[in-house]
Structure 1
Amino acid sequence: MLVSPNTVTFSVELPEGTLDPAYLDESGKVSVLANAVSGSMDIVTPAEVAVLERVRAGDAAVDRELVAGLLERGYVCTDPVEEEARYRAIVDGYFQAIQEAPFQFMFIPSFVCNLACPYCFEGELTTRSPRMDEEMIEAAFDTIPEIQDRHQNSGPPYITLFGGEPLLDTPYQRGAVEQILRGSYDRGYPVTAITNGVALDAYVPMLLKYGCEEVQVSLDGTPRTHDTRRVFRNGKPTFELIERSIDVAAEAGIRVLIRVLVDEDSVDDMPRFAEFAQAKGWLDHPKIRLFNGFTKATTFLYVTPDHPEEKRKRMVRGDVKAGLQEAFWRMVQQNPLVDRMLQPDLARIRSAVLEGDRLRPNLQGCSAGTSVVAFDPNGKIYGCPETVGRPQHACGTFYPEFSYAAGYRDPWRHRHVDTVPMCRDCNVKLFCGGGGCPIKAWAANGGDFNTCYCPKVSSITTRVETQLAYLLPMALRRQQEHANRPEGEEGTWEQMTRVGSFPWMS
Structure 2
Amino acid sequence: MKNSIYNIFIPAGEDEFVCFNSLSGSSALVDGEVRKMIEDPGEATAGPGDEIRGRMMKLGILVGDTVDERKIFDYKFSLDRYSAKISSFIIYPTYGCNLACPYCYETGLKLPKKRMDEATVEKTIEFIRHTTVSNNSRMIILGFFGGEPLLETETCRTIAEEIFEWAKERSIEYYGTLTTNGTLIDDKTVLDLFPYISSLQVTLDGAEDFHNSKRFYSGGRGTYQDIMTNVGRLKDWDGHISFRVHIFSDLNDVKVLLEDLKRRGFDKNPKFHIYFALAAPSDACLHFIDDEEMVRGSEKASVLLPGARRLAAACGFSTEITDDTISGEYLHSCCGYIKKGVYMIDPHGDIYMCPVFTGDKQYSIGSVHAGSFDERTPFYYKILTKSPLTVAECRDCEYLPLCGGGCPMERYMRDSVPGSVYCGLNKELIGKKIEEHFSRKISARGDD
Tell me the CA shift for residue 120 of structure 1: 1.0
2:226 pairs with one of 241, 264, 285: 241
Once the two structures are superposed, the pairs formed by residues 104-503 of structure 1 within 5 Å of their partners are 104-123=88-107, 128-148=112-132, 152=135, 154-168=137-151, 173-188=152-167, 189-202=174-187, 203-208=189-194, 210-264=195-249, 267-299=251-283, 302=286, 318=294, 321=297, 323-329=299-305, 331-332=307-308, 335=311, 337=313, 340-341=316-317, 343=319, 345=321, 349=323, 352=326, 358-370=327-339, 371-399=341-369, 401-402=371-372, 404-418=375-389, 420=391, 422-434=393-405, 436-446=406-416, 453-456=421-424, 462-481=428-447, 483=448
Residues 401, 340 of structure 1: alpha-carbon distance in 2 compared, 3 angstrom cutoff = farther
Residues 84, 314 of structure 1: alpha-carbon distance in 2 compared, 3 angstrom cutoff = closer
Tell me the CA shift for residue 350 of structure 1: 6.4
Conservation of the 8 A alpha-carbon contact between 2:312 and 2:318 = no
How many corresponding residue pairs?
A: 438
Tell me the CA shift for residue 471 of structure 1: 3.8
Output the aligned Cα RMSD: 3.4
Tell me the CA shift for residue 231 of structure 1: 0.8
After superposing the two structures, state which structure 1 stretch, 157-166 or 459-468, moved more.
459-468
Conservation of the 8 A alpha-carbon contact between 1:270 and 1:338 = no
SS at match of 1:426: coil
In structure 1, distance between residues paired with 2:291 and 2:369: 31
Residues 248, 327 of structure 1: alpha-carbon distance in 2 compared, 3 angstrom cutoff = same
Conservation of the 8 A alpha-carbon contact between 1:300 and 1:315 = no
Q: Which AA in structure 1 matches 2:251?
A: V
Give the TM-score taking structure 1 as reference length. Answer: 0.76
Q: Which AA in structure 2 matches 1:438?
A: P
Conservation of the 8 A alpha-carbon contact between 1:112 and 1:129 = yes
Gaps of 5+ in 2: 168-173
Tell me the CA shift for residue 290 of structure 1: 1.5
Q: Which residue is 2:67 aligned to?
A: 81
Once the two structures are superposed, residues 433-482 of structure 1 have per-residue CA deviations (whole angstroms, 9 ceiling, x without a partner) of 22x1112222222499xx985225xx65543443344444432232244x
Gaps of 5+ in 1: 24-30, 304-311, 353-357, 484-506
Q: Which AA in structure 2 matches 1:335?
A: L
In structure 2, distance between residues paired with 1:319 and 1:120: 23
Once the two structures are superposed, residues 270-314 of structure 1 have per-residue CA deviations (whole angstroms, 9 ceiling, x without a partner) of 1222222222222231332211122223435555xxxxxxxx775
Residues 333, 277 of structure 1: alpha-carbon distance in 2 compared, 3 angstrom cutoff = closer
Tell me the CA shift for residue 42 of structure 1: 2.8
In structure 1, distance between residues paired with 2:296 and 2:120: 36
Residues 380, 453 of structure 1: alpha-carbon distance in 2 compared, 3 angstrom cutoff = farther
Residues 252, 350 of structure 1: alpha-carbon distance in 2 compared, 3 angstrom cutoff = closer
In structure 2, distance between residues paired with 1:155 and 1:414: 24
Q: Percent identity?
A: 21
In structure 1, distance between residues paired with 2:444 and 2:191: 43
In structure 2, distance between residues paired with 1:112 and 1:373: 20
Residues 368, 232 of structure 1: alpha-carbon distance in 2 compared, 3 angstrom cutoff = same
In structure 2, distance between residues paired with 1:126 and 1:460: 29
In structure 1, distance between residues paired with 2:414 and 2:78: 29
Q: Which AA in structure 2 matches 1:245?
A: N
In structure 2, distance between residues paired with 1:262 and 1:467: 18
Q: Which AA in structure 2 matches 1:272?
A: V
Tell me the CA shift for residue 206 of structure 1: 0.8
Conservation of the 8 A alpha-carbon contact between 1:296 and 1:321 = no
Once the two structures are superposed, residues 357-380 of structure 1 have per-residue CA deviations (whole angstroms, 9 ceiling, x without a partner) of x44453311121123211111231
Conservation of the 8 A alpha-carbon contact between 1:299 and 1:315 = no
In structure 2, distance between residues paired with 1:336 and 1:107: 31
Conservation of the 8 A alpha-carbon contact between 2:183 and 2:226 = yes
In structure 2, distance between residues paired with 1:127 and 1:89: 39
Residues 272, 392 of structure 1: alpha-carbon distance in 2 compared, 3 angstrom cutoff = same
SS at match of 1:381: strand
Q: Which AA in structure 2 matches 1:177?
A: C
In structure 2, distance between residues paired with 1:223 and 1:81: 56
SS at match of 2:344: strand
Q: Which residue is 1:4 aligned to?
A: 4
SS at match of 2:307: helix
In structure 2, distance between residues paired with 1:432 and 1:297: 22
Tell me the CA shift for residue 204 of structure 1: 0.6
Q: Which AA in structure 1 matches 2:240?
A: R
Tell me the CA shift for residue 149 of structure 1: 6.8
Residues 145, 176 of structure 1: alpha-carbon distance in 2 compared, 3 angstrom cutoff = closer
In structure 2, distance between residues paired with 1:268 and 1:318: 24
Give the TM-score taking structure 2 as reference length. Answer: 0.85
In structure 2, distance between residues paired with 1:422 and 1:148: 36
Once the two structures are superposed, residues 21-50 of structure 1 have per-residue CA deviations (whole angstroms, 9 ceiling, x without a partner) of 342xxxxxxx33111233212332111112
In structure 2, distance between residues paired with 1:400 and 1:92: 28
In structure 2, distance between residues paired with 1:245 and 1:477: 40
Tell me the CA shift for residue 75 of structure 1: 1.1
Q: Which AA in structure 2 matches 1:129?
A: K
